Amino acid sequence: MTLDMIPQNVMARVTSVAPGDGHSLRLMEMGVVPGAPVRVVKAAPLGDPIHVCVRNYHLALRRAEAKSITVTLHDSGAID
């Protein structure tokens, strides 16, 4: 499952980032690496870009860029 597909407010963890695109390196440098906790906060009113919480800071990125980030969901589910 990739980051653009997971539901809002569910804790997840990055498993891999597809290399090769210009932006994926930048994302990784910013801490989106395998093992990092990540959570989709919401999408913009028109659906794109999406607002995610990585570790403990917030990032906005387009769905096309989020596609290169593969994640697994936690079992713990939603936060308040």
Q: Which positions touch another protein (CB under 8 A)?
A: 19-20, 22-23, 25-31, 33-36, 41-42, 44-49, 51, 53, 55-62, 65, 79-80
Run of H or E including 4: none
**Residue 2 per-residue DSSP state:** B
Run of H or E including 57: strand 57-61
Q: Which is nearer to another protein, 6 or 27 (CB)?
A: 27
Instruction: Report the C-alpha gap between 39 and 66 in whole angstroms.
Output: 12
Shortest distance, position 54 Cβ to another protein, whole Å:
8
Shortest distance, position 62 Cβ to another protein, whole Å:
5
